[in-house]
């Protein structure tokens, strides 16, 4: 299990903007915690990964994540639908989901929490602030936060 000492934490990054994805990946890799980032670019791929379908069927290569970083504005299936699906699926509902999006719309924030998001973060437009957010996010979710052992 990835929660054992010395084993990497698995992070599923669901982000269609390549520049944002690269900043998140760099920020997460700079943490003092061993982690592996699995990046998908749309909501359909996210659900395929989580349910081990299609090209994500190999559970060894595509293990269940310890943390999901989820953009809301995604092609094919939007982030809110992904969030709703995983938080209503018994074997997935304990996975922490951090909504990481450019939307600061109150309706998106409310709906994300209604669908049981664990956190909602608006991506800063400024590079330095975005980088600092990734550092803080990594420290909290990968270093300080205690999560249950996933089944």
In a domain, 86, yes or no: yes
pLDDT band at residue 8 under the 50/70/90 scheme: confident
Q: Domain count for the chain, please give it.
A: 1
106, two tokens:
């109150």
| Cβ–Cβ < 8 Å for 95, 67 | yes
In a domain, 1, yes or no: no
pLDDT digits (tens, 9 = 90+) for 100-123: 999 999 999 999 999 999 999 998
| Cβ–Cβ < 8 Å for 57, 31 | no
CATH code where residue 130 lies: 3.40.50.2300
In a domain, 4, yes or no: no
| Cβ–Cβ < 8 Å for 138, 99 | no
Pairing of strands 9-14, 35-40: parallel
H/E run at residue 101: strand 97-101
In a domain, 39, yes or no: yes
Predicted local distance difference test score (pLDDT) of residue 130 = 84
d(Cα 110, Cα 84) in Å, to the nearest integer?
13
Global pTM reads 0.88
In a domain, 147, yes or no: no
In a domain, 2, yes or no: no
Domain ranges, residue 40: 9-137
| Cβ–Cβ < 8 Å for 82, 68 | no
pLDDT digits (tens, 9 = 90+) for 91-106: 999 999 999 999 999 9
In a domain, 3, yes or no: no
pLDDT band at residue 29 under the 50/70/90 scheme: confident
Pairing of strands 67-70, 97-101: parallel
In a domain, 70, yes or no: yes
């Amino acid at each position: 299990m990835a929660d054992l000492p010395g084993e990497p934490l698995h992070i599923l990054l669901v982000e269609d903007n390549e520049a944002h994805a690269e900043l998140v990946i760099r920020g997460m890799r700079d943490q003092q915690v061993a982690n592996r980032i699995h990046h998908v670019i749309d909501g359909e791929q996210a659900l395929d990964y989580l349910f081990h379908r299609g090209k994500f069927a190999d559970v060894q290569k595509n293990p269940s994540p310890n943390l999901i970083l989820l953009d809301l504005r995604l092609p094919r299936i939007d982030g809110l639908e992904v969030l709703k699906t995983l938080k209503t699926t018994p074997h997935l509902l304990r996975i922490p989901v951090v909504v990481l999006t450019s939307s600061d719309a109150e309706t998106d924030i409310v709906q994300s929490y209604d669908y049981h998001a664990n956190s909602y973060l608006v991506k800063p437009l400024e590079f330095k602030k975005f980088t600092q957010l990734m550092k803080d996010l990594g420290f909290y979710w990968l270093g300080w936060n205690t999560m249950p052992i996933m089944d």
